[in-house]
Copies of this chain bind each other. A is one copy, B any other.
Amino acid sequence: MTSQPLRITIWNEFVHEREDPVVGKLYPDGIHGAIAASLREKLGEAAEVSTATQDQPEHGLSAEKLAATDVLYWWGHAAHNDVSDEVVDRVQQRVLEGMGLVVLHSAHDSKIFKRLLGTRCSLRWREVGERERLWITAPGHPLVSGLPSEYIELPHAEMYGEYFDIPQPDDVIFISWFEGGEVFRSGCTFTRGAGKIFYFRPGHETYPIYYDPNIQQVLANAAMWARPSGVTYVGECRNPQESLSPIEKRD
């Protein structure tokens, strides 16, 4: 039961860090850099972690790169509409084939997430730095391993509130409470084709959320949970005219 290192790619639009000095100071290597460093530390030799950004050719997500990715993390906010449809097609196809996808925070509004879910993924939001408490609603799930028993708390967060326009998740892992009065399904899993998808709400660019130990624990759990498993995906229509079992002749 030895296994190859998990091939993880952290994708980031990488806009706010270069345009907003507050964000740039908080994430000097980009949000992707902070997440990559955390995953490298937590997963060690079990994973090979690389990054890709929107300004690269093909957004850093060539067919070759995606074929060599087991789990893709996705952070975007300011430039969703500049992601090319061709790359979205390609990522969707790879998810259906079995690549894991971890969708972070404002990427609820990304083309790839809306493509895979079929809904608008709209929500309420408010940015005043209020308190958030993420209650665990699936205590036996691998995604919450290593966390405190009942909840994790963030002192300052952007608020996202219901109704969150998504199809029913496979599992709701966290439900957030916000100081200002809203709730939100902050950790949701989905399966599309052979691919596992995890949406995880925390991660606003103006707060040091990706340095929080509990958040880092969830991100590391996500890699292990979303890794490909199962059987070869049969995504084409198949037309075997020869039946497996005999068919009675009738008129």
Q: Given A139-B234, A245-B131, are A240 and B175 also a contact pair (CB < 8 Å)?
A: no
Q: How far is the CA of A137 from the CA of B193 in the complex (A)?
A: 10
* A126 in contact with B181 (CB, 8 Å): no
A148 lies within 8 A of chain B by Cβ: yes
Q: Given A139-B230, A179-B245, are A239 and B124 also a contact pair (CB < 8 Å)?
A: yes
Copies of this polypeptide in the complex:
4
Q: Which residues of B contact A250 (CB under 8 A)?
A: 129, 155-156
A168 lies within 8 A of chain B by Cβ: yes
* A234 in contact with B150 (CB, 8 Å): yes
Q: 22 A-B contacts, Cβ less than 8 Å apart?
A: A98-B140, A119-B192, A119-B193, A122-B235, A125-B237, A130-B247, A131-B247, A135-B182, A137-B163, A137-B164, A139-B231, A139-B234, A140-B196, A145-B230, A149-B232, A150-B162, A155-B250, A156-B250, A167-B190, A177-B183, A179-B247, A183-B183
